[in-house]
Amino acid sequence: MTLETASHQAPAPQGPSPARWQRAAMLVAVLLSLGGCTTTPTEPSVNHAPATATAQERRPAPQVEPTPTALTPPDATASHRVTALTITILSTTEPGPGEGEWGFAALVEADGQRILFDSGAKRQTVLRNAETLGIDLHTVPAVVLSHHHGDHVGGLLTLRRAVAEDAPEALATVHTARGMFEPRRFGAKPREVNRMVAIRPAFQASGGTFVVHDAPGQIAPGVWVTGPIQRLHPERNWSGSRRIPGADGWVEDTLPESQALIVDTERGLVVLSGCGHAGIVNTVTHARASIRTAPIHAAVGGFHLHQATTPHLEWTAKRLLELDLQQLLGAHCTGRGIVERLATRAPSGAHALKVGDRVTLDGLQ
């Protein structure tokens, strides 16, 4: 099967009429006569490179190109509200009934719809953990991948091949965001390090299809992918060691394809993240702006704050509470710092997840 692209672009605005130009000119004149101005409050720097990072890795992140049109949430009455939700952790650092690894994967069950989010690091981990937990992946038609790093895509081919013969439609449709298949390399070394470049043709040969999203899209009733996330805040949480092709040659890879899965429930939005390389605050802000302005009932998964500085953690906790976060359930690369800060400050607390944990609308089971 071939690569499919899900485009969600707004129509280009038409040019203003001469009368509008006159009214705009008069308005500018009035504003200038009043001498008014506005300023944007500054935010604390939240840049945090690993302690061993090079000077090049510590430099500020390049400016991310904003979405060309303002995000407009759908009609609040039109979106389906999920009433039954279970998220089962199939891969994370902390072992449970299954084996742990440095990776992430979770099975999402929303009103009967089943979706695999990420596929873990090692080829067999998610497959074995699913068997241990009594989860049948033959009845899971769709996959969402958060980004191209190997600890989130490592099990994809193994999982697809394990179910394809008996259930050709199982794990057959993979939703990614724009930028997923761009070439990557470390520094000046020419070797390709984006595993998705090689995985794509092998997955398609199995009968699978990739859907590439360039904006938020609903993939099941009440279940959304964000597509590339608008980065309004300087949440830098990647190493800076990888490079991606740019207009002027190879530039720092800021993981433009980083996306999250959002479940719109009766109690608010549930945000599921693999690593959150766009930043947890950016991700939550983007979800509320593009899907529904609602409380964040829970933020679940990896948020790559394990190496964050104390000022970054404090800023993050404060912002999340301002955005009406009710509960944080961290896994993989989230780290203890943000969990400890929100454990007593978020209305429903914060907890660290392990393999086999199940999250429902009533919390951690």
For 135-185, the DSSP string reads --GGG--EEE---S-HHHHTTHHHHHHHHHTT-TTTT-EEEEETTTT---E
Query: Residue 78: pLDDT band by 50, 70, 90 thresholds?
Result: low
Query: Residue 64 region, left (φ>0) first, then alpha (ψ -120 to 50), else beta?
Result: beta
Distances (CA, A) of 250 to 190, 228, 243: 11, 20, 6
Q: Which residues of 259-273 are buried (b: 16+ CB within 10 A; e: fewer)?
A: bbbbbbbebbbbbbb
Distances (CA, A) of 228 to 155, 198, 239, 286: 23, 22, 19, 10
Contact 359, 87 (CB under 8 A): yes
Cα 110 from chain centre? 18
Q: Is the pLDDT of residue 354 over 90?
A: yes
Task: Mean pLDDT check: name the lowest of 8-22, 92-106, 131-145.
Answer: 8-22
CATH code of the region 79-364: 3.60.15.10
Which is it for strands 4-6 and 209-213: parallel, antiparallel or unpaired? parallel
Query: Residue 304: pLDDT band by 50, 70, 90 thresholds?
Result: very high
Query: Residue 49: pLDDT band by 50, 70, 90 thresholds?
Result: very low
Q: What number is the average pLDDT over the span 137-141? A: 98
Instruction: Tokens 């890795």: give the residue.
Output: 57
**What's the one-letter identity of residue 239?**
S
Q: What percentage of the chain has pLDDT greater than the value 70?
A: 78
pLDDT digits (tens, 9 = 90+) for 30-45: 333 333 333 333 344 3
CA-CA distance, 220 to 114, in Å (whole number)? 9
Of 49, 74, 69, the closest CA to residue 59 belongs to: 49
Question: In which element (H, E) is residue 4 found?
Answer: strand 4-6
pLDDT digits (tens, 9 = 90+) for 156-198: 999 999 999 999 999 999 999 999 999 999 988 899 999 999 9
Q: Is the pLDDT of residue 55 over 80?
A: no
Rounded to 5 degrees, what angle do the CA atoms 240, 148, 352 make? 85
